[in-house]
A and B are shown apart, each in its own frame.
Chain A
Amino acid sequence: MAKVEIKHLTKIFGKRPKAALKMVKQHKSKDEIVEKTGSTVGVYDINMSIDEGEIFVIMGLSGSGKSTLIRLLNRLIEPTQGQLFIDGEEITKFNKKQMLEIRRQKMSMVFQNFGLFPHRTLLENTEYGLEIQGVNKEERRKRAEHALDNAKLLSYKDQYPSQLSGGMQQRVGLARALTNDPDILLMDEAFSALDPLVRGEMQDELLELQANVQKTIIFITHDLNEALHIGDHIAIMKDGELQQIGTGEEILTHPANEYVKSFIGGVDRSKVLTAESIMIPALTTNIDVDGPTVALRKMADEEVSGLVAVNRKREMLGYLSSDEAAKARRNQTPLSQAVVQMPTVDLDTLVADIMPIIYDAQTPVAVVDANKHARGVIIRGSVLEALADTEGDETDA
């Protein structure tokens, strides 16, 4: 039996939901409906079932209704129509008191902007869920401290949220949600407010946590990479309606419609994409200035094994690999001797034309502009991705 079951769930905001519903059934556009009725369609006719212990990702651009959907699940927003079952109980029929119980026992939520209470310390924040259930002080302290300990924040327990970084705050938000020991964790763009590095860390932490505690996690994001990274199943939404549900693989290889296709970038890129659009920023070292030690350090910092060598005028000279740089450091030779040639392409070279070059090259391919300045580099991975897409298309055809 599915943990969460959603049937025909619909939410219309505004004063004339009935008229708006009629128009939705006639497949009128959102704008037209607002124009005519003054009501907005939040989500329309959502059907899905979520299994116990999976990470279910709901994706979509802003305005697609994904945040509304997650709030319908714990009824922070009241649905206009439809049913919602959790463990087989229809909670859309629950009264206020039963709903409080569900929120206290079964579901916890993590928010995009953390939603921490500024006037409470981390410990007081973490134990909030238990506090309002009337759990005695010692018990809730113990559990909150345990959750903070898991989030590696126990030593900060008497600090206030404003004294922490975003990543730490979100870990508190997560610890607060987990202290209740809920079955279901609702995460509303939980990592979107963090910087990319911390974001990656948090995603890994979440996966690790999931391996340990086996909760049902409903995760909202607008970032395809994040969805592919953590999701067991992915649902894609547009304008309040569901486009497709499937595993990451299914969605990438069999997009259900044009929208999903464009959303995952599933067009034949090699015929349209240029070098400029698939290149990654070039990490450069100015060998007129930098020595081997500096270059090696840069590589270590950026976690790459080579840099594009440039001169004072920022003109591209060639490729400097970590091996060559290390050699130069041992032999006390200048970097200019360690630089090897690297193939170059123009900004508007098509991906299809780059492929043969990249297969032969020992180094990444540099993308240069008319002034011989390195604008970026293309590595094998980015081309493989383009290649995978085209192959997917061929199997479709």
Chain B
Amino acid sequence: MPNLPKVPLESWISDGVNWLTTHLSGLFNLMQRSGQSIMDGLTNGLTAIPTPLMIAGLTVIAILTTPKKYGFPLFTLIGLALIANQNLWSDLMSTVTLVIMASVISLVIGIPLGIITAKSPKTAAIVKPILDFMQTMPGFVYLIPAVAFFGIGVVPGVFASIIFALPPMVRMTDLGIRQVPVALVEAADSFGSTTWQKLIKLELPNARNTILAGVNQTIMLALSMVVTASMIGAPGLGRGVLSAVQRADVGSGFVNGLGLVILAIIIDRFTQKLNTKPGQKVATRPWRRWAILATALIMIGGGVVNAVTSQKSSGQKVNLGYVSWDSEVASTNVLAESLRQHGYDVTMTPLDNAVLWQSLANGQVDASVSAWLPYTHKALYDRYKNDISLLGPNLHGAKTGFVVPDYMKVNSIADLTNEANKTVTGIEPGAGEMITAQKTLDSYSNLKGWNLLSASSGAMATALDKAYKTKQDIVVTGWSPHWMFSKYKLKYLQDPKGTMGKNESINTITRKDLKKDNPKFEKVMDKFNWTKEDMESVMLDIQNGAKPKQAATKWLKSHQKLADSWYK
């Protein structure tokens, strides 16, 4: 449509969210703080229960609720034991907390709302389109305002999950109440029931199964949002899946995903057990109920005992943010392990790059060692430079650029014509390098018609590996230090215009008032530095199958002197 100016929808929405963020910040902070403490309490409570006791308890409950059938209890036992065996127990508990919280809040909001929409056609006419909107909008979109309102962590994850999981609860409640036969409603009316009596004595009991089906769906949807929510720092199994996607690590992704599947099946079966047909005597003998209650109490008791007797790590809490690029996984793990050896209680939060800078700016993350300056993260630095402290480089000689296998003839960006289907294979769309890469495509005339493909750093590495093995052309957005340079023969393309940045350094950034709050830790962050070779050795270890934690510990053992120098 020519001659019509574009409607500034984007800026309207941004302005609206900004207005909310500034004017309701008190409320949001309160919600964030109270939510965070409730969830932390819940997670701590769940993890305090010794794993074997919890597995046994849940298996016993499964046996009690499914008499004479052994499939489900056996599945519960084996599935949970497998999760524990893969060291995913604490992740599982974080996920359970998130799901419980999101589901409970969805129920508390959804059931009354469903009752209101069933009773009032006007409300239904307003609410139903909103529900449609909520359910079809991609879950990712909710993460953006969630971060703006609540920062990072589990609270925005719950917020996004609720928006996503609430609609079926409202719909099914509404449906259940509308489905109560007219004859029964008339009968209740003819005896002079008040609206309230009708609801409590007739409609809700009859709608019960439909409502429970809604509960089941809500829980499943909340569970499906776990992975998405982990992009903004929600802990749990989702994080494992997400970082596996970013590093193209099939095995770890599958194992984390399997954990989610097992959890989903167990929750699904347990919620389905609550369904009963009306007009049937529920054949639960009282002793079964008592036994279930007793089992739950034993589990909780075990948790309490465990919480009292176990030593809480009394170290200082610090929160390191990072992006799941291989380079940052290496550096952040090394730093975190080293800090732990010095008695700090370290939380590592993997985030999307833009979200990481934002969280540093609003003080939710203490520090990060993954700022590529002055070129790659220039845009983000310019945006947040007033709200963070830049402590300077921790690694020199980093470089970003277009990278090709050395069997390709081309040597300079200016010489590219139509290689590799005119495609540059990139990484996460929010990464700084992607911004510079796009700028490069725009400023070289020979790159007209080239595409920049966004994916993830892991997917990029996989694509490179595939092309390399079949000797095909490929152009990727590469950076050093990176293990791929030790694994393949690669070269940087010359960059006569310098749009991809010259040599850069990786820098340490912290939140604005860290120096005031925690000078000792700030000093460590300031001193932290190592070399490109150090980093690449750690990266290669991880690439060859070591866990990041193991690789970090190994490096620290052999570089004790350097590591000690950070604390002087």
> Which residues does A use to contact B, with CB under 8 Å?
71, 74, 76, 99-104, 107-109, 111-113, 115-119, 128-129, 131-133, 160-163, 180, 186
Contacts and interface: CB of A to CB of B under 8 A. Distances in A.
B279 A104 contact: no
A111 B192 contact: no
12 contacts: A100-B194, A109-B186, A109-B190, A111-B183, A115-B187, A117-B202, A117-B206, A119-B208, A119-B278, A132-B192, A160-B280, A180-B191
A102 B186 CA distance: 15
B329 to A, nearest CB: 56
Contact of B191 (A108, A112, A160): A108
B206 A118 contact: yes
Contacts of A76: 186, 189-190
Given A132-B193, A132-B197, A162 B187 contact: no
Contact of B192 (A71, A104, A161): A104
Instruction: Pick the 5 closest A-B CB pairs, nearest first.
Output: A160-B279, A103-B192, A115-B187, A104-B192, A109-B190
Given A74-B190, A118-B278, A160-B279, A132 B201 contact: yes
Interface string B466-500: 00000000000000000000000000000000000
A133 B201 CA distance: 13
Interface in B273-290: 278-281
B184 interface: yes
Interface string B179-205: 000011011111111100100011001
Interface of B: 183-184, 186-194, 197, 201-202, 205-206, 208, 278-281
Given A132-B194, A180-B191, A111 B186 contact: yes
Given A99-B192, A128-B188, A132-B201, 4 more contacts: A76-B190, A102-B192, A109-B187, A119-B278
Nearest to B196: A132
A104 B193 CA distance: 8
B313 to A, nearest CB: 52
Contact of B279 (A111, A118, A131): A118
A129 B188 CA distance: 8
Contacts of B184: 115, 117
Contacts of A104: 191-192
A129 B191 contact: yes
Nearest to B187: A115
Contacts of B190: 74, 76, 103, 107-109, 186
Contacts of B187: 109, 111, 115-117
Contacts of B206: 117-119
Main DSSP-derived SS at the B contact region = helix
A254 to B, nearest CB: 35
B118 to A, nearest CB: 18
Contacts of A100: 192, 194
B121 to A, nearest CB: 14
Nearest to A113: B183
A123 to B, nearest CB: 14
Most buried by A among B188, B190, B197, B202: B190
A227 to B, nearest CB: 23
B209 to A, nearest CB: 10
Main DSSP-derived SS at the A contact region = mixed
Contacts of B201: 117, 128, 131-132
A186 B189 CA distance: 13
A163 B188 CA distance: 21
Contact of B189 (A103, A112, A131, A160): A103
A166 to B, nearest CB: 14
A103 B192 CA distance: 5
A94 to B, nearest CB: 12
Nearest to A74: B190
A202 B279 CA distance: 25
A371 B192 CA distance: 62
A110 to B, nearest CB: 9
A74 B186 CA distance: 11
A115 B205 contact: no
Nearest to A163: B279
B123 to A, nearest CB: 21
Nearest to B276: A119
Contacts of A113: 183
Contacts of B278: 118-119, 160
Most buried by B among A111, A117, A180: A117
Nearest to B198: A132
A207 to B, nearest CB: 23
Most buried by A among B186, B188, B206: B186
A71 B202 CA distance: 20
A113 B182 CA distance: 11
A208 B206 CA distance: 35
Nearest to A104: B192
A161 B278 CA distance: 10
A112 B208 CA distance: 25
A359 B489 CA distance: 120
A73 to B, nearest CB: 10
A116 B184 CA distance: 7
Nearest to B202: A117
Contacts of A107: 190
Nearest to A134: B197
B23 to A, nearest CB: 42
B193 to A, nearest CB: 5
Nearest to B200: A132
Contacts of A129: 191-192
B191 A119 contact: no
Contacts of B197: 132
A326 B183 CA distance: 52
A171 B429 CA distance: 72
A161 B279 contact: yes
A115 B193 CA distance: 14
B92 to A, nearest CB: 37
B356 to A, nearest CB: 53
B560 to A, nearest CB: 71
Contacts of B194: 100, 132
A220 to B, nearest CB: 14
A117 B187 CA distance: 9
A307 to B, nearest CB: 43
Nearest to B197: A132
Contacts of A133: 192
Nearest to B208: A119
A298 to B, nearest CB: 39
A168 B190 CA distance: 21
Nearest to B190: A109
A132 B191 contact: yes
Contacts of B191: 103-104, 108-109, 128-129, 132, 180
Nearest to B279: A160
A117 B205 CA distance: 10
Nearest to A179: B191
B189 to A, nearest CB: 6
A102 to B, nearest CB: 8
A176 to B, nearest CB: 8
Contacts of B193: 132
B484 to A, nearest CB: 65
B274 to A, nearest CB: 15
Contacts of A103: 189-192
A41 to B, nearest CB: 21
A69 B202 CA distance: 25
B277 to A, nearest CB: 9
Contacts of B208: 119
B307 to A, nearest CB: 42
A114 to B, nearest CB: 8
Contacts of A161: 279
